[in-house]
Amino acid sequence: MPGGIWSGTIAFGLVSIPVKLHTATSSHDPSLHQYHAEDGGRIRYWKVCELDEEVVPPDEIVKGVEVDDEIVMLDDDDLAELPVSSSKTAEVVEFVPAEQIDPIHYEKSYYAEPAEGAEKPYVLLRQALLDADKLAIVRITLRRRETLAVLRPRDELLVVHTMLWPDEIRKPQFATVAGEARKQELAMAGTLIESMTADFNPEDYTDAYREALQDLIAAKASGRAAPGKKAKAAPKAKVINLMDALQKSVDAKNAPKGAKAAKKTAKKAAKKSARKTAAKQTTARKRTVKKAAAKKSAAARRKSA
């Protein structure tokens, strides 16, 4: 990976591991902008002062916050005085069991790439974390902000997950969920879970919305009609009895595979038959056009003779 968003050192006791961090995730959604429907002009946003309604240039804009109905303004010099760590060292503070960290704390993910010559201590730390089944808690400064982060092994690499501070995790603002599950319901739910259990493979899932949006854009760009809307499944009837719902779910999952395969085969056969019929109709039309053209040409030759 070229570049990197951060270069520094992971300090593991007296061991230093020079690394570069690279963003591990990205969005592939098409960027939709706003345009004037009448003439296609791009819609722009201007920074306007609410008092004089004039557009304000960037060099006249400062940050601020409202305190007791007064505006406290902060310019770049004020912010530069803050005690921001400029350290390029991500120091391991402690090691913790992986199950003790709730994923709700994770914010962003980065791949840690070892610098040339740092492969041996890098592999040492990665393997030690794997063997101990632990995560490393580090403090790291990214974009002028110090933050907590987790260092964990993933495949052949180390991954850094920045974390939210405890006071950034919102508490639910609704009543505690009450209720009690009966043994029979728990047993049936366990059976359903077992029937649906599989190894997680992310490649098995696709972003249907993004694919449909890309198809729509491609169709309109080439002047074709927009793809038709898929019929929505009819809403299922409301099930009052929880045991009945669980039983029906288990029965559906345990349906004979042969029946499902037969349905798929029937669908494929129907599609194949439709394609053959369409091909025959196209061939017949072409023959009709050729015959008509041949008759017309023959008639023209007789007339000229």
What structural domains does the chain harbor? Answer: 6-28+83-168 (2.40.290.10)
Q: Distance between alpha carbon 16 and the CA centroid of its chain, in Å?
A: 34
Cβ atoms of 74 and 62 closer than 8 Å: yes
- pTM assigned to the model: 0.66
Q: DSSP character for 54?
A: P
* Bigger pLDDT: 274 vs 40: 40
Q: pLDDT tens for residues 194-211?
A: 888 888 888 888 888 888
Joined tokens for residue 86: 């400029």
Cβ atoms of 28 and 7 closer than 8 Å: no
Q: pLDDT tens for residues 117-141?
A: 999 999 999 999 999 999 999 999 8
Q: pLDDT tens for residues 272-289?
A: 555 555 455 555 555 554
pLDDT at 289: 47
Q: Which amino acid is at 28?
A: H
